[in-house]
Structure formats: C-alpha cells, structure tokens
Amino acid sequence: MKLFIANLPHKLSEAELKQMLTQFGQVHSVMLKMDEDGKRKGWGFVEMPVNDQAKAAISALNEKEIYGRKITVKEAEERGKDSSGNFRKLRREYRDNSGEIDGNKW
C-alpha cells in the first residue's frame, strides 16, 4: 500500500521516517519530495507491501506530533485520468465537440 505523509518536519530524514515505519512492518520505499534547491517540501510517499501493516502505521501515526508538527498519514490516492491536471484538455475537448464554453458560442 502506498501512503501519503504530509506536514513532515523539514529536518526529518528519509532514514528517520523509514525507521519510524519499520516498527509496523516492512517498508519497501520512502520518498520525500524536494524543491529545486534540494529543500524538503514537508511531504512524501512511503510504500509498504503488506496492507495490514500499512493500516497499522496509519492508525498509529496519523496526527502524531513529530518535532513539533502534527503529521498526516493516509493511504495515497491514485490520480485518475480525469484529475484536475487534465482540466484544460477536457475543457478544450468540450469546446471542440460542442462549440461552446460556459454557455458562449465560439
């Protein structure tokens, strides 16, 4: 199961996060997002291959305070084909197919 973890303290390393999660089971991967300057953004993803272990980690760590910050731990949501990132494409397709946007003929 892929977990999304947010509001992480910027000083928390991937190794520390992995160590926290291994108490609940096997951790396949840890990835903390970084900006262009190499600074941590405060969120990332963890892959735990056993769902029950991942759910135990969610229950135990969600809203837990780490270095003064309450973290969010939840199951990661897969982006669908029609996610908000495709809004312009969908709008363009609608316009091309119907000849109108927001009730205006073009």
pLDDT-derived band at 106 (thresholds 50, 70, 90) equals very low
**The two three-digit tokens of residue 76, written as one number:** 């990661």
CATH 3.40.50.300 describes domain 2-77: no
Asked if residue 94 has pLDDT above 60, the reply is no
For the chain, give the percent of residues with pLDDT over 70: 75
pLDDT-derived band at 38 (thresholds 50, 70, 90) equals confident
Answering whether pTM is above 0.85, one says: no
**The two three-digit tokens of residue 79, written as one number:** 């982006």
Closest C-alpha to 49, from 84, 24, 72? 24
The two most distant CA atoms of the chain are separated, in Å, by 60
DSSP the chain: -EEEEES--TT--HHHHHHHHHTTS---EEEEEE-TTS-EEEEEEEE-S-HHHHHHHHHHHTT-EETTEE-EEEEPPPPPTTSGGGHHHHHHHHHHHHSEETTEE-
Domain ranges of the chain: 2-77
